[in-house]
């Protein structure tokens, strides 16, 4: 007896790192009878076919989404409003719309208005990634052991939430349900601020005069290198995240700047005890990480 | 025929991560007939003996240094002036004094005045480390393939510089000779600023209210975790580095804050093009790192 797949037809919009990794999972676990992939870049569509990820490729979101049980929007979040408008004619009662965007209030704002009654809207965010991008960067194990946060609006059909959860569990993810504003606060500090800072430090280094810059490259192993790795991620994706999680990000960024100013002041005035106290506090967080097996 | 070891008697002051790793190298490669280890902490001295790292252990620097060909000061740099004063009676013409401190102008300032004529002063900085500390954290491979920067004052005896270089080359290091002020500038950006920022972000996170903090731990894999790893290093060592490379560090920190303010402003006002341009610039540094095989 062959079990029926989780979905008849899955549609993935945007075949970057996350979209292609999810497509690998769908293929590996035979989660759909048909996987339709939509990307506006013809090169990406060609690669999706060449990699055997898609049963069909489409430039038009509505064409790709027609007849799908579930639509996964996996483009940079700046494109979501436009994609929502393009999808609208294809959305029929009973369909599920989900996404992989890194800020969740903006997804409700940008996709929400295009979701008609009877269509189940289950925004999602797989907490996974590498510093590489594009359809060839994807691999099925990307989500293994990683969290996927779902932020369904109150009253969302529970069976639909469960189907989205089942999709990510196939990829090896653990599921967490969260309120979108809370998601945006948590991610602002765990992900968006570290990236903002990493981009900034790399930018500061790239403004140094030639000789000094060459030596920064040469001796980068002493801490700087870790920042450049974080800063290697996709520029458009990060531009969109910064713009769309603006309030939560600017809030944690100014908290951090206050803390940095305090530390700078302590350094300027030679306040050794204060500096040591601040450093020791930070080890507490590290200890908790180790306890939570996230280190 | 057995070759004579590089040194008759080596003295290492401070048996933390760097001191104990160097001791492992000395033991492995039989670089001395006698290795004397000095540490003010009796527990560290006991461990140095138990690990077979020392032929003799000492609480008093002058006693440990008596008759040594080379003295390696490997304590946090805040202790250097005190150690210089304590060493003075033991320093005899022909001896070499070196160190492993992460800022080099302060070492000239703090140790320099205690070095008599005829003693060769060759400050050094192995660019290596882990997030662990103490005598049990050391291992011989720590310096393998890593740079070691030497900052001998003009006119330093070349044979003495070469002997210090040979010591670090035994550990697998590549040697770079640099002017101390230049060293401090390069390290301020490649190492001291990244650590300052990592400590700051971890501090900001540890000030969050309980629930949010627990979720920061849970979802730390999305960037934050890399910062906590950097921030796990020894508090006293870093306090001393911040205080002793103050000018260079505060200079790059304020450059970075200007850059951060520019990025924050662009986010606040929704300047997508500006943000994308800034992010793209940072990839250039990453590309150079990959070319220089430091990525």
Q: Which of A127, A224, A279 sits opposite B189 (nearest CB)?
A: A224
With an 8 Å Cβ cutoff, are B203 and A239 in contact? no
**Could you tell me which chain A residue has the CA closest to the CA of B284?**
A206
Q: How many CA atoms lie within 13 A of A159 on its CB side?
A: 7
C-beta separation of A66 from A86 below 8 A: no
Which residue has better confidence, A18 or A3?
A: A18
* Pairwise CB contact (< 8 Å): B194 & A227: yes
pLDDT digits (tens, 9 = 90+) for B132-168: 899 999 999 999 999 999 999 999 999 999 999 999 9
- What pLDDT does residue A295 have? 62
pLDDT at residue B2 greater than cutoff 90: no
Helices (H) and strands (E) in chain B, counts: 13, 9
Contact status, residue B109 vs residue B80, Cβ threshold 8 Å: no
In chain A, whose CA is at the least distance from the CA of B270? A243
The answer to whether the CB atoms of B243 and A146 lie below 8 A apart is no
Query: Does A189 sit within 8 Å of B204, measured CB to CB?
Result: yes
- Helix intervals (H) in chain A: 17-28, 42-50, 61-65, 80-87, 105-111, 158-170, 180-187, 193-206, 210-218, 224-230, 235-244, 246-268, 272-291
> How far apart are the C-alpha atoms of A290 and A294, rounded to whole Å?
6
For chain B, what is the mean pLDDT? 93
Of A41, A213, A271, give the one whose Cα is nearest residue B288: A213
Q: Are A242 and B190 within 8 A, CB to CB?
A: no
Which residues in chain A are closer than 8 Å to B203, comparing Cβ atoms? 259, 263, 278, 281-282
Q: How far apart are CA A177 and CA B140, in angstroms?
A: 47
Whether B3 has a pLDDT exceeding 90, the answer reads no
- Partner-chain contact B224 A194, CB within 8 Å: yes
Burial of B205 (0-12, 13-18, 19+ CB in 10 A): buried
Q: Pick A221 or B215 by higher pLDDT.
A: B215
Specify the CATH number for B7-178; select among 1.20.1260.10, 3.40.50.300, 3.40.50.720, 3.40.50.1000: 3.40.50.720
In this model, does residue A6 exceed pLDDT 60? yes
How do beta strands A147-150 and A124-126 pair? antiparallel
Give the whole-angstrom CA distance, residue A91 versus residue A114.
9
> What are the start and end residues of each CATH 3.40.50.720 domain in chain B?
7-178
The Cα B141–Cα A32 span in angstroms is: 50
From the list A197, A228, A272, the residue facing B285 with the nearest CB is: A228
Tokens matching residue A63: 């064409």
Q: By C-alpha distance, which of B109, B120, B112 is closest to B245? A: B109
Decide: helix, strand or coil at residue A155: coil
| pLDDT greater than 70 at residue B294 | no
Indicate whether this model's pTM tops 0.90.
no
Instruction: Tell me what pLDDT residue A294 has.
Output: 65
User: In which residue are the tokens 């704002």 written?
Assistant: A109
CB contact under 8 A, A264 and B246: no
Q: What is the pLDDT of residues A153-206, one digit of tens each?
A: 999 999 999 999 999 999 999 999 999 999 999 999 999 999 999 999 988 988
Sign of CA dihedral B125, B127, B128, B130: positive
Chain B nearest-CA residue for A223:
B191
Contact list, A146 vs chain B (CB under 8 Å) = 221
Q: Do A232 and B286 touch (CB under 8 A)?
A: yes
Q: How many CB pairs under 8 A join A and B?
A: 284
Hey, are the CB atoms on B259 and A127 less than 8 Å from each other? Answer: no
What would the pLDDT profile of A100-123 be if each residue is shown by its tens digit? 999 999 999 999 999 999 999 999
Rounded CA gap, A151 and A124, in Å?
6
Return d(Cα B67, Cα A175) in angstroms, integer. Answer: 65
Residue B1 has pLDDT above 60, yes or no: no
Measure the CA dihedral B159/B164/B165/B166, to 10°. Answer: 90
What separation in angstroms does the CA of A243 have from each of A184, A202, B25?
12, 20, 51
Contacts of B146 in chain A (CB under 8 A): 221
Confidence (pLDDT) at B177: 97
pLDDT at A229: 80
Contact A272 B243 (CB under 8 A): yes
DSSP letters for A194-229: HHHHHHHHHHHHHTS-HHHHHHHHHTGGGTHHHHHH
Chain-chain contact of B200 with A294 (C-beta, under 8 angstroms): no
Search chain B and give the residue with CA nearest A247.
Answer: B268
pLDDT confidence of residue B295? 62
Q: Examine the predicted complex and report whether its ipTM is higher than 0.90.
A: no
| Paired tokens of B75 | 């304590």
User: Of all residues in chain B, what percent carry a pLDDT higher than 70?
Assistant: 98
Average pLDDT over residues B211-236: 83
Query: H-helix or E-strand containing B45?
Result: helix B42-50
List chain A residues with CB under 8 Å of B252: 204
Burial of A113 (C-beta count, 10 Å sphere; 0-12/13-18/19+): exposed
Q: Looking up tokens 């990699």, which residue turns up?
A: A51
Residues sharing a CB contact under 8 Å with residue B258, sequence separation 6 or more, in sequence order: none
Taking contacts as CB-CB distances below 8 angstroms, the residues of chain A near B255 are: 204, 207
Residues of A in contact with B195 (CB under 8 A): 223
Query: In chain A, which segments carry CATH 1.10.3660.10?
Result: 182-291
List chain B residues with CB under 8 Å of A264.
250, 253-254
Residues of B in contact with A200 (CB under 8 A): 256, 259-260, 263
Mean pLDDT (chain A, rounded): 93
Chain A closest-CA separation from residue B146 CA (Å): 8
Residue B223 φ/ψ region, left for φ over 0, alpha for ψ in the -120 to 50 degree band, beta for the rest? left
d(CA A180, CA A186): 10
Instruction: Count the alpha carbons within 13 Å of A169 in the hemisphere toward its beta carbon.
Output: 9
Pair A131, A235: CB distance under 8 Å: no
CB contact under 8 A, B285 and A212: no
Please tell me the predicted confidence (pLDDT) of residue A38.
98
At the fourth CATH level, the homologous superfamily of domain B182-291 is 6-phosphogluconate dehydrogenase C-terminal like domain (1.10.3660.10)
> Which of A178, A223, A235, A240 would you mutate first to test chain B, the one with the most B CBs within 10 A?
A223
CB burial readout A205-236, b (16+ within 10 A) else e: bbebeeeebebbbbbbbbbbbbbbbbbbbbbb
Structure tokens at A92: 């029929």
DSSP string for B137-199: G--GGGGTT-EEEE-PPTT--HHHHHHHHHHHHHTT-EEEE--HHHHHHHHIIIIIHHHHHHH
User: pLDDT for B164-186, tens place per residue?
Assistant: 999 999 999 999 999 999 999 99
Confidence of residue B129 (pLDDT cuts 50, 70, 90): confident
Query: To the nearest 5 percent, what fractions of chain B are helix, strand and coil?
Result: 55, 15, 30
CA angle, B130 then B134 then B137, to 5°: 50
Three-state SS for A2?
Answer: coil
Look-up of token digits 């295009």: A114
Tell me the pLDDT band of A2, cut-offs 50, 70 and 90. Answer: low
Query: How far is Cα A283 from Cα A292, in angstroms, rounded to an integer?
Result: 14
pLDDT level of residue B288 (50, 70, 90 thresholds): confident
Span B34-65, pLDDT tens digits = 999 999 999 999 999 999 999 999 999 999 99
The yes-or-no verdict on residue B75 having pLDDT over 70 is: yes
pLDDT at B234: 86
């Amino acid at each position: 007896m062959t079990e029926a797949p989780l979905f008849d037809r899955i549609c993935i919009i945007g075949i970057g790192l996350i979209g292609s990794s999810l497509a690998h999972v769908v293929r590996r676990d035979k989660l759909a009878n048909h996987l339709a992939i939509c990307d506006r870049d013809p090169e990406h569509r060609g690669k999706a076919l060449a990699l055997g990820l898609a049963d069909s490729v489409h430039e038009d979101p509505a064409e790709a989404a027609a007849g799908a049980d579930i639509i996964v929007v996996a483009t940079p979040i700046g494109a979501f409003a436009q994609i929502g408008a393009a999808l609208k004619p294809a959305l029929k009662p009973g369909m599920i719309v989900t996404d992989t965007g890194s800020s969740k209030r903006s997804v409700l704002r940008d996709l929400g208005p295009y979701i008609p009654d009877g269509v189940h809207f289950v925004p999602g965010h797989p907490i996974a990634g590498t510093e590489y991008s594009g359809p060839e960067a994807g691999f099925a194990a990307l989500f293994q052991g990683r969290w996927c946060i779902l932020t369904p609006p109150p009253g969302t059909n529970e069976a639909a939430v469960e189907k989205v959860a089942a999709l990510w569990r196939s990829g090896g993810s653990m599921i967490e349900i969260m309120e979108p504003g809370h998601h945006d606060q948590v991610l602002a500090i765990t992900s968006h601020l570290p990236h903002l800072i990493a981009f900034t430090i790399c930018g500061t280094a790239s403004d140094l005069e030639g000789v000094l810059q060459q030596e920064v490259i040469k001796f980068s192993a002493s801490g700087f290198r870790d920042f450049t790795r974080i800063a290697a991620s996709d520029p458009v994706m990060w531009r969109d995240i910064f713009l769309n999680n603006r309030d939560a990000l600017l809030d944690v960024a100014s908290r951090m700047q206050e803390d940095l100013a305090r530390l700078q002041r302590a350094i300027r005035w030679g306040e050794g005890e204060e500096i040591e106290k601040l450093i020791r506090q930070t080890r507490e967080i590290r200890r908790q990480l180790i306890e939570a097996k996230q280190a």
